Amino acid sequence: MKKESRIVQVLSALIDLVWAGLLWLACSLPLFTIGASSTALYYTIVKCIRHDRGRVSSCFFRSFRTNFRQATIIWLLCILYILIGIGDCIAFSRMGISKDSPLILFSRLFFLPVPLLFPWLFSFLSRFQNTVAGTFRFSVYLAMKNFGRTLLLTLQLSLFLLICWMIPFLTPFLPGVFCMLMSLTIEPVFREMTSDMGAENEDAWYNE
């Protein structure tokens, strides 16, 4: 009986993961909402699926609405940063600069901060209240302080994009699963942060 119950729990969690991922895909379709969707997905995975605090849909849309403005601004700033880098690459190419030139290397490295910061930005936003500038500053701090975790998160994110590119029909099933994997890397850092704030500021659902 216990074995059957365990199987039911696992299947239920998998269904919730897929449903959360489908909500992320649907709410990301306008593209400019990817930041808000990513924030809501992380919030839902950690609070609802991992800690059983509510229903998937209600958790997702609550976070989506609450963080929409800041998440969208942060996402658009990331896109602007990427566009500037692409513009540099195009400009250098038209100028006939050699591919081995330091300028070309710099223009390629220009893209690096976005994938390194992306997981920290929206997971931090899902959990803590701060300004846009403060969220960027703290995400840079977390990415640098936990550089090993940052590299692992970047690898996980890259693997997600690669699988979606090579096997598109798996895309609907992957966002929730990969967000769950990434949360296993991020959550120990956040638990340590909330623990350091003191008992009166501790968030119980983060420390179960």
Phi and psi torsions of 51, nearest 5°: -115, 5
pLDDT digits (tens, 9 = 90+) for 93-151: 677 666 666 666 666 666 778 888 999 999 999 988 899 999 999 999 999 999 999 99
Question: What rounded mean pLDDT belongs to the chain?
Answer: 85
Tell me the whole-structure pTM to 2 decimals: 0.87
Closest CA to 68 of 98, 28, 106, 104: 28
Q: Are 198 and 46 in contact (CB under 8 A)?
A: no
DSSP symbol at 205: G
The CA–CA distances, whole Å, from 57 to 11, 68, 72, 183 equal 18, 16, 20, 19
